[in-house]
Amino acid sequence: MSELLNPKDFIITRKRKQYKFALFSNSDLCMEYADWDKSFAPNVLEIGAGTGLFSAELARRHADWRVAAIDVKGDRLQKGARLATEQGTNNVRFLRTRGDQLLELFEPGGIDTLWVTFPDPHPKKRSAGRRLMHPTFLRIYAQLLSSDGALYFKTDSHQLFTWTLEQLVAEKWRLDEISFDLHDTELADDYKIMTTYEQKFTAEGLPTHFVKAYPPVAAD
């Protein structure tokens, strides 16, 4: 007979989640889609930011940058916001929104650096449209990036990475730097700042796949 589940476990989990959402709501660095302050005007975006620790560290290292971390789950983002607050980092914001809403929030051509870090691979073929490196999203990113801006992508999923390279080539993005094992390279240290998932997968012996790409050249 399978072990019976204790209803109290669900109550504890729900309370923990409510507590994390409360931390998000009470942080000056966290915002909902409807409350986004467009005057912040970031030049660095992290899409699918999860806990936001990657963005928090980028902002700490580069005080002259304005960094925004985007995710659909505020209970995750509050972790990065707490760290930024503890470190006195004020040049970063954590925004709960969807990837298809980005053009409603940010000016086209205003982003210099756009990161997509360890997104859900959505491995089933019928879910391909939800992948954050799907052509639908790549076209949004291309509009957001400045004339010399670049897209940076990291994942532990070999299948997602090779599929992503195919999409980038098909969409005429210009590949600049590629690695199937980022942490075994001499590429920039900023690239090697670890997300929460990256820490987990690296500890399990999985390499980080990485690509930097420039958007298609606009036709005259």
Annotated catalytic residues are 120
Instruction: Kindly report the number of other CB atoms within 10 A of residue 212's CB atom.
Output: 18
Return the SS3 of 128. helix
Residues forming a β-bridge with 114: 45, 151
Nearest by Cα to 133 from 209, 38, 74: 209
Could you give the CA distance from residue 56 to residue 95 in angstroms, rounded to a whole number?
Answer: 13
Could you give the CA distance from residue 198 to residue 57 in angstroms, rounded to a whole number?
Answer: 14
Residues whose CB is less than 8 angstroms from the CB of residue 206 and which lie 6 or more positions away in sequence, other chains included: 156
